[in-house]
């Protein structure tokens, strides 16, 4: 579980995060949504420890990040997995090399043990025949799956995903969403996803945090987002005519 309490982050004179507090629960897919410039990426980078907030506390299962020593912070980071927007796979390594990388860096496992673990996670993300391919030789969807495999290979306690569906076709996007949700529940990890994708919000948003101008505007579940009267949320989530109609139908059905 990650508990965030009143975090503030500025760059120069510009205050990006203006006091956000929330809780991301274990075993759930927690989604951060909001317009571009609302502070989502900065918030996610604060959660990852890439940015240090000027004020406030981020606590990972009771461990306050700001009070940890440098070594403790690095140890905590090894409990985190991250899926970047562009996958961020190492170009010079094969799929297998990318997934094996954290094991080689941080464990004392033998080559065969590492190979076994890599095979398990690649099979888990449905990538069986891509071991020896380089990132440039596989599709965007496959790259995302490799990134997920790399993120979970160390059995992380926390999984962070930045726009995991960007650049993917709707069918592949749903596959990636479902995969992330299955892994979250199967491995019982705290997953935080930064997304613009409303399909993801509806499908896997077990908890949704809506940010606006660096502040928490709303939070709830994918069920609650249908019913909310918060104008900022409805304007953002139901910006397309299709979603407006879907919402209308949902409300009419319930009435």
Contacting positions for another protein (CB under 8 A)? 48-50, 74-75, 77-78, 80, 82, 84-86, 88-91, 101-102, 104-106, 160
Q: Using an 8 Å Cβ cutoff, are 213 and 38 in contact? A: yes
Which residues have C-beta within 8 Å of that of residue 18, sequence separation ≥ 6?
8, 213, 214, 215
Beta strand pairing status for 29-34 and 207-212? Answer: parallel
- Judge whether 163 and 194 are in contact, CB under 8 Å: yes
- Give min distance, CB of 6 to another protein, in A: 24
Token readout for 245 is 């109609």
To another protein, the closest distance from the beta carbon of 218 in angstroms equals 28
For the bound state, the minimum distance from the C-beta of residue 102 to another protein, rounded and expressed in Å, comes to: 6
Give CA–CA dist 194/208, Å, rounded. Answer: 10
Choose between 88 and 246: whose C-beta lies nearer to another protein.
88
CA–CA gap between residue 185 and residue 223 (Å, rounded): 19
- If the CB atoms of residues 91 and 229 are measured against another protein, the closer one turns out to be 91
Contact 172, 164 (CB under 8 A): no
Report how far residue 215's alpha carbon sits from residue 231's, in angstroms, rounded to the nearest whole number: 15
- Least spacing, CB of residue 88 vs another protein, in Å: 4
Buried b (16+ CB within 10 A) or exposed e, 26-35: eebbbbbbbb
Q: In angstroms, what is the minimal distance from the CB of 151 to another protein?
A: 9
In angstroms, what is the minimal distance from the CB of 176 to another protein? Answer: 17
DSSP-assigned letter for residue 93: S
Nearest Cα to Cα of residue 184 among 167, 171, 203, 197: 203
């Amino acid at each position: 579980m990650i508990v965030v309490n009143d975090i503030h982050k500025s760059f120069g004179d510009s205050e990006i995060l203006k006091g956000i507090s929330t809780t991301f629960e274990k075993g759930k897919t927690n989604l951060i949504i909001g317009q571009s410039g609302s502070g989502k990426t900065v918030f996610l980078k604060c959660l990852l420890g890439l940015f240090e907030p000027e004020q406030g506390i981020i606590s990972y299962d009771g461990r306050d990040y700001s009070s940890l020593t440098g070594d403790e912070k690095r140890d905590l980071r090894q409990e985190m997995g991250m899926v970047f927007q562009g996958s961020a796979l190492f170009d010079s390594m094969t799929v297998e090399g990318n997934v094996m990388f954290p094991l080689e860096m941080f464990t004392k496992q033998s080559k065969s043990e590492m190979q076994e673990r890599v095979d398990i996670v690649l099979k888990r993300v449905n990538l069986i025949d891509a071991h020896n391919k380089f990132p440039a030789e596989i599709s965007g969807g496959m790259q995302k799956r490799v990134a997920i495999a790399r993120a979970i290979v160390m059995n992380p306690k926390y999984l962070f995903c930045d726009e995991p569906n960007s650049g993917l076709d709707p069918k592949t996007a749903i596959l990636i969403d479902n995969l992330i949700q299955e892994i979250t529940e199967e491995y019982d990890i705290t997953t935080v996803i930064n997304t613009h994708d409303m399909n993801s919000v509806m499908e896997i948003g077990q908890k949704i945090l809506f940010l606006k101008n660096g502040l928490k505007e709303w939070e709830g579940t994918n069920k609650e987002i249908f019913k909310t009267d918060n104008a900022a949320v409805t304007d953002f989530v139901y910006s397309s005519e299709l979603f407006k109609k879907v919402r209308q139908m949902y409300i009419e059905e319930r009435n």
